[in-house]
A and B are shown apart, each in its own frame.
Chain A
Amino acid sequence: MKAAAIARNTFREATRDRALTGVLVAGVALILATQALGALALGEESRLTVDLGLSAISGFGLLVIVLVGTSLVAKEIERRTIFNLLSRPIGRPAYLLGKWLGLSSALWVVVAVLGLVVWLMLEVRGHGGYGPAVAEAAYLAGLELTVVTGLAVLFSALSTPVLSTLYTVGFYCAGQWSWDLRDFAERAPGALGVTLRVAADLVPNLPIFNMRALAAHGQVTTPFHLGLATLYALVYCGCVLALAAAAFESRDFK
């Protein structure tokens, strides 16, 4: 209940932030601009719309996390608004959970709006058949952003906004290359191989959320993949938030 109140407030904070409005406007403008490139696409307009549209969802979602998420908790500590919250009967884990839920909800709104615009563009062009593929890919992109939001909350609770941005973007990039990292680990000798394997296990497995290539051809994925990706996102976020809560519990607010 109290985590829900924090989540509602965080959602309100994110949606009243001009950054989110700017990102939404820029995202919609980019998707509309792809229509002007249709003539250059040599009959692949739909593929271009889906590919660029889904990339816009991931890219602009990440931008929201960088602009809002990486300073989510640090800003509250710096501005001392956290005094008014944590002096009430609310546990610190519930506070972090609320922050994560609130920003994730705002990101799901971004995903839904941009996903809807992509689908509308396709519908207008008479390619409504891409709908299910776009919906699935947008859902997975939303899960990916939810996972990255968890990392942003973790780093934001433990460091400054600048460092938090560096760590979050670093983990995002490493997460995108986690399969390559695993391949390197297989081939690297001794201690380096073990280190790389541990790193590959720690960073989020983000390729599991990427079905842009499939969606660009109008193909859907399996329910097993969707279920597995959902479960993975929930477990990964759970672990990250538990780590954040443990570290945040002993923190002093001077």
Chain B
Amino acid sequence: MPDAPDHPPEALAIRTAGLSKSYRHNWTGRIVTGLDELNLEVRLGEVMGYLGPNGAGKTTTLKLLTGLLKPTRGDAWLMGVPIQQVSSRRRIGFLPEQPYFYEYLNGMEYLELAGQLSGLAGQEAHRQARGWLGRVGLGERPRLVLRKYSKGMLQRLGLAAALLHQPDVLILDEPMSGLDPFGRRDVRDLILEQRERGTTVLFSSHILPDVEILCDRVAIILGGRLTRVATVGQLVGASHQQVEIRCTVVPPFAPEPGLVGTVERRDRPHETSFLLHDDTRLGEMLAWLLRVGAQVRAVTPQRATLEELFLATAARADADAHADERRSA
């Protein structure tokens, strides 16, 4: 039986309970686990980043939610509707990783088709297609065939196709991969716009600065297992902050014995900076600097980036896995 959700089910846009996917190798018969007992909740109106290295199970999760893969075990619901039901996909928009399109269609025809398949009537599909083609900057040449589109144009078209029926839940698989900085900015703006609208967004990404900007919460998946779900603030705030102190006129004294090991000194031609690894020792550090006659010019807290935290989590999980292997050996 799935665990009871932390939030009432009606407040959840996406919920999975023990969702698992295994594949059997055609020739060897070996079973490979793509996703293992995923219990994930995405609240209404929330933007959640789904992080993990290649092969961690991100795409598997998103394909299970959108009906492209069938779960081996477990359940999932989209806006309260079980994913086994076709109607669960009525209120979602999905952009697959590196989306592929019908090259013989033009932008307008493709969006009309997408709209009709998402339940829009012919006229409404046409109206929305025209509107969205313009909104993603492709409106000038609506009859241009897709084989002549660049990668960035195709990605924007894919996003328009995911959005034109105004879904309540947006599921994006690596929406920024392969895009230049302008393309990334456009996609980021579209996601922010959807957040303003109240759309729930679940997206996987490798580009962590974007995740940091966009997400309310992030979920980290490693080796098919969910290892952490937290707000970006919690993740970053929970880590020990470093503080950089820039000074001029610092005599070449060694720091006090109590601070040795927590501070790094870097001498430059016109200034000396100290990197204090533990912000709780800031007062002690400043007192020492003033005592030795240093002129303190700037004190700058240095937050660990999401990227550093993600790498640390992955390294920790890797070390745990190795430890488990050694124990079982």
Residues of A participating in the B interface, judged by any CB pair closer than 8 Å:
1-2, 5-6, 8-9, 12-13, 16-17, 79-81, 83-91, 250, 252-254
Q: What chain A residues lie within 8 Å of B92 (beta carbons)?
A: 87
Question: Which of A13, A90, A253 is in CB contact (< 8 Å) with B86?
Answer: A90
Cα distance, A81 to B94, chains bound together (Å): 13
Cα distance, A76 to B23, chains bound together (Å): 22
Q: Do residues A90 and B117 form an inter-chain contact, with CB atoms below 8 A?
A: yes
Closest to B115 in A: A5
Question: Which of A2, A16, A84 is in CB contact (< 8 Å) with B116?
Answer: A2
Nearest first, the 5 closest Cβ-Cβ pairs linking A and B are A87-B66, A5-B116, A87-B94, A89-B90, A88-B117
Q: What chain A residues lie within 8 Å of B89 (beta carbons)?
A: 87-89
Q: Among residues 51 to 105 in chain B, which have CB atoms less than 8 Å away from a CB atom of chain A? A: 63, 66-70, 86-90, 92, 94, 96, 98-102, 104-105
Question: Which of A12, A88, A254 is in CB contact (< 8 Å) with B104?
Answer: A12
Q: Pick the most buried of B67, B90, B101: most chain A CB atoms within 10 A of its CB.
A: B67
Q: Do residues A5 and B87 form an inter-chain contact, with CB atoms below 8 A?
A: no
Whether B35 sits at the interface, judged by CB under 8 Å, is no
Q: Do residues A86 and B68 form an inter-chain contact, with CB atoms below 8 A?
A: yes
Give the bracket for the number of chain B residues in contact with chain A.
20 to 34
Q: Do residues A85 and B68 form an inter-chain contact, with CB atoms below 8 A?
A: no
Closest Cβ of chain B to A202, distance in Å, is 27
Whether B114 sits at the interface, judged by CB under 8 Å, is yes
Whether B199 sits at the interface, judged by CB under 8 Å, is no
Whether B242 sits at the interface, judged by CB under 8 Å, is no
Question: Which of B68, B96, B98, B118 is in CB contact (< 8 Å) with A89?
Answer: B118
Q: What chain B residues lie within 8 Å of A80 (beta carbons)?
A: 96, 98-100
Whether B187 sits at the interface, judged by CB under 8 Å, is no
Question: Which of B23, B63, B114 is in CB contact (< 8 Å) with A88?
Answer: B114
Cα distance, A85 to B158, chains bound together (Å): 12
Q: What chain A residues lie within 8 Å of B158 (beta carbons)?
A: 84
Q: Do residues B117 and A2 form an inter-chain contact, with CB atoms below 8 A?
A: yes
Q: Do residues B70 and A79 form an inter-chain contact, with CB atoms below 8 A?
A: no
Closest Cβ of chain A to B224, distance in Å, is 15
Q: What are some 27 contacts across the A-B interface (CB < 8 A)? A: A2-B116, A2-B119, A5-B116, A5-B117, A9-B113, A12-B105, A13-B102, A13-B104, A16-B104, A79-B100, A80-B98, A81-B102, A83-B96, A84-B96, A84-B99, A84-B101, A84-B161, A85-B117, A87-B68, A87-B89, A87-B92, A88-B114, A89-B90, A89-B117, A90-B117, A252-B69, A253-B69
Q: Do residues B70 and A250 form an inter-chain contact, with CB atoms below 8 A?
A: yes
Known A87-B66, A89-B90, A89-B119; further 12 A-B contacts with Cβ < 8 A: A2-B117, A5-B117, A6-B117, A9-B102, A81-B101, A84-B158, A85-B117, A87-B67, A87-B92, A252-B69, A253-B63, A254-B69
Q: Pick the most buried of B70, B86, B88, B114: most chain A CB atoms within 10 A of its CB.
A: B86
Cα distance, A13 to B89, chains bound together (Å): 25
Q: Do residues B86 and A91 form an inter-chain contact, with CB atoms below 8 A?
A: yes
Cα distance, A87 to B90, chains bound together (Å): 9
Cα distance, A6 to B70, chains bound together (Å): 23
